[in-house]
Each structure stands twice: as structure tokens, then as C-alpha cells.
Structure 1
């Protein structure tokens, strides 16, 4: 079966004036136009291609790499808006269509939007949607507390920043747990801080509890070693904003980190800051 909106490994079946005809194991054929034909090839040789629908709604194979695949999320630029919807740049000749009904907010040409790409069953076309939450499900969670997870920054809220967790679930990073600049579309690593009774996920970008002391202690050590004289003008009395700006961590985390280093006799803590021993 040839999968629309995804990569396919197909056999080169025959050559024609239009290009190469490729086929899957079941004999389903698709055209690879001349502009994508490699300089050298052999009949029955396998080739990896991306398959989507051309301007005449016919399946076509290309060797270009799209910015998004079917059933995936990505941050895409809106090229134009017409009377039927928006058209997004996804790295292919034919733009990706996002109808007005699938826009969380009305799109504008030149804007960047986090979207989900799916195959519309009624039309058989690939369509984008910026209503990403409806493609996420927290009923049957595949993660638990303390798990490391892959994140895509989704959209801001009054409480912090919503994130997509492992391409499956919706999570939230509270404002007090954000210690560096993050933007919609950013892909990050994080950890499940808490699973609430309603299956809502609290996410943090650093490890939780005792799990995060060691990595942050290493971060402080690295900063000390990189400094000119093994000194950082911060200590346990420093302003939390100064610590956040310099090290992208909370004061509580910083105090635990330097406490660990102090117990290991790797640093000394003075009134003007901490020194590497």
C-alpha cells in the first residue's frame, strides 16, 4: 500500500516520458516526475520517496523532504490566504491547505503557525489544522511521573505554556517553572512533574526533586570552570531574578546545587559569590 503523506520505499518499475513509475509490493503505481529522477538508477531498484497529491489530486512521488508528515506537528509559515482558506509552506511545490474551519485563529500571510497534518477522509487530501488540541488525548496516558518526554511548545495560557507531550498528550509548564525563553514550535526535552487526577500533566524542563540536583550542580561547576577566575557573583543570598538570568534555574534549585558542591568540597561560598576550589 502506498501511504499518502509519508515516506515510501518503492521499486522503480519502468521509465516514461513523464518520469519513472514506481510500485509497491502490491503493484500500486505512482509517478516520480522527471525533475525528481536521480542521475543514475536501475529498473527494480528501490528508492525512498514522499507521496502526496498533486494539483490535479493525483498521487505523485517526490524526493523533496517536507517540513511535516501526515499525523505529525510542525511550525509552518502561511504563504497566502484566499477565500477558501490558508496555504502553508511545507517545503513542497504544492502548498499545504488549511481551511478556515481548521484555524484556531484566523491566519495571516507571513505568519507562523503550529499545525497538525492529517488525511481528510472525505476528500482524500492532506489538510493542516492549527486546532492542535483536538488531536491530543489524555484519557489513556502513556507516561507517568518522572518520565523524560519529548515536547513541542504549543500555545501560551494564563498559567504558563501548553506543550504537546510525545506527540500524544497535552501538558502544561507553569510560569514559575519556566527559566528560559521558549517559543511556540520549539522542540524540547522535559519531565513529567505530576499526573493529576483528571490526567492533566504538569511538565518541567529540568529533573524533579533529588533527580535534578546533580545535573544542576554540574551546570554550576561548568559555569565556574568556564569563568576567567573560577568565580560566579551569586550565592544563596542572591536575588532570584539574577540567578534566573545567569543560570536559567530557580533560586531553590540553585541553592540545592551549590549545597551539593559545597558538601563535596568543590566550592567555597563567600559574601560576594561562589569560588571554585
Structure 2
């Protein structure tokens, strides 16, 4: 059975001028538009495609990969607002994903904002839509992770105990404050590790694998990297969150706090081009 909003392996049944028709089984024949067709594809072959609604609400197939499938969660950017309709989100496909007003809760979104959403098929319209009412969509089944398994972590809130997380785009998790020295924000994403799976299905997380210990504070790590790089690094408070995460394994907020502390201690200078160690006699 083929599923809307998910990847499916479908058989090519017909070649037409505007693409290929695929056997969508319970969904009928589905068009794979010409722009996704390669010369190797022929009738009888199976292709792995994502099924969704095009701008005219027809089911179509694509070889593009969305940020998440139906039943999963993602942190997406708002690329448009339509009055009395909702917000449109960039999820990596040619047609943007609708976040209806009724599914925004208390949010007041504008273009350029980031928002964490669940992706599901509306039972009344049969369209793929997003919802910011996350708890309605988090899976309650107990996952089968083992301690120290690596998982994809998406931070979506905090509590007195730690940071609320979505694990592998599906499950509910918690990263305790004692398990990270970073200050994390909604939308932060990284690879974490399972500490334990509780009887109710909630996952306790580690920031690092068991047995790994962070060396010093983030500020100390930045200072060490500066020394190893000859005293200069091309990062400052204007650097992208992605480049900071890749280099320093922390959020941009935590990085700014760390270099601010180093600046106040007169350890570094912050310039237009990055940060550099203060020369000492």
C-alpha cells in the first residue's frame, strides 16, 4: 500500500510526454514529472519516490527529499504568510508546506521565523499539513533503543530538569542540564546519545557518549583552538549557527556567551573578521 507524505517504492507503468506514470496501488497512477526522470528509468523499473500534493492538489511523485515525512518533526523556516490561511514553510520541496492558523497555537509567526512542527495528513482534506501543537503528534510507543545508541536530537523547549527534545524526528526525549554544559535553544539540532528509555517511552539523553568527558569549559576550548590556530579564528557573533556548530559543537548563543566572557577577561579581541588572542608581554 502506498502512503501519502512518505517515500514509496513504485513501479513505472507508462511513459508520457510530461513524465512517467507510476503504479500508486491504492492511490491510483501517480505522475513523476519529467524534471525528475532520468534516462535509466524504464517501464517495469521500481523507483523510490516521495508522494505529496502539487499546487493543484493532485498527487504527484518526486525524487526530492523533504526535511521530514508524515509522522515526523522538523525545524522549518517561514517563507510566507497568507491572511486567513496560515504560514508557508520551506521543507525542501518545490511546493511549500502549509501551517494552518488553527495549528499554530499561541504563535505569532512572520516571514523568516523558524518553527518546529509535526507533519501529518489532514483527515478532512487529505492534504499534507504542519502543526505546531507538538504533543498531539509525538509517538507514545516505547522505542527499542539501547544505551549509548546515537540519535538525532531536536531541542523544542526546556524545563527545570533540562531540555525537551524530539528524538529521531519521532520520539519524546529529555537532555538533563547535568548532561550538557551548553546553553541550548529551540531549534538546535545535533547527534546525541541514549542514556536510558523509561517505561513510559520517554528517552533520557546524553550529549556525549558514555565514557566521554568534555575537557574544560567552552571558553577554555575556544582559547585552546585559538592557540592551535596561531591566535586567530574567522568566527564572531555574525557567524552562522551552522558553522559554529560544526566547528565548536555548540549553539550560537553559547558561543557568543563564551567569547563575551573571554573578551571581558581581556583574553581575546573581537574583530570584523573574527576573534584573536590578545598579545601578552
What TM-score do the two structures reach when normalised by structure 2?
Answer: 0.65
Q: Which residue of 2 aligns with 1:259?
A: none
State the distance in 1 between where 2:146 and 2:36 align: 47
Alpha-carbon shift at residue 85 of structure 1 (Å): 0.3
Runs of 4+ in 1 over 6 A off after TM superposition: none
Contact 1:161 1:175 in 2 (8 A): yes
2:6 is the counterpart of 1:6: yes
Describe the superposition over 1:224-272 as per-residue Cα deviations: whole angstroms up to 9, x where unpaired.
xx998xxxxxxxxxxxxxxxxx999xxxxxxxxxxxxxxxxxxxxxxxx
Larger radius of gyration between Structure 1 and Structure 2:
1
State the distance in 2 between where 1:28 and 1:247 align: 47
Q: Which residue of 2 aligns with 1:178?
A: 180
User: Is there any run of 5+ residues in structure 2 with no aligned partner, and where?
Assistant: 229-247, 251-281
Q: Which residue of 1 aligns with 2:156?
A: 155
User: Is there any run of 5+ residues in structure 1 with no aligned partner, and where?
Assistant: 229-245, 249-277
**Pairing 1:65-104 to 2, within 5 Å after superposition:** 65-83=65-83, 84-104=85-105
Contact 2:5 2:51 in 1 (8 A): yes
State the distance in 1 between where 2:153 and 2:205 align: 12
Q: Which residue of 1 aligns with 2:137?
A: 135
Describe the superposition over 1:55-94 as per-residue Cα deviations: whole angstroms up to 9, x where unpaired.
1111111122212211111111110111110000111111
Alpha-carbon shift at residue 20 of structure 1 (Å): 1.4
What TM-score do the two structures reach when normalised by structure 1?
Answer: 0.66
**Pairing 1:1-277 to 2, within 5 Å after superposition:** 1-24=1-24, 28-83=28-83, 84-104=85-105, 105-137=107-139, 141-142=142-143, 146=147, 148=149, 150-159=151-160, 160-183=162-185, 184-192=187-195, 195=198, 202-206=204-208, 212=211, 215-216=212-213
Change (3 A) 1:129 1:247: closer
Aligned residues: 219
State the distance in 2 between where 1:28 and 1:77 align: 33
State the distance in 1 between where 2:18 and 2:197 align: 56
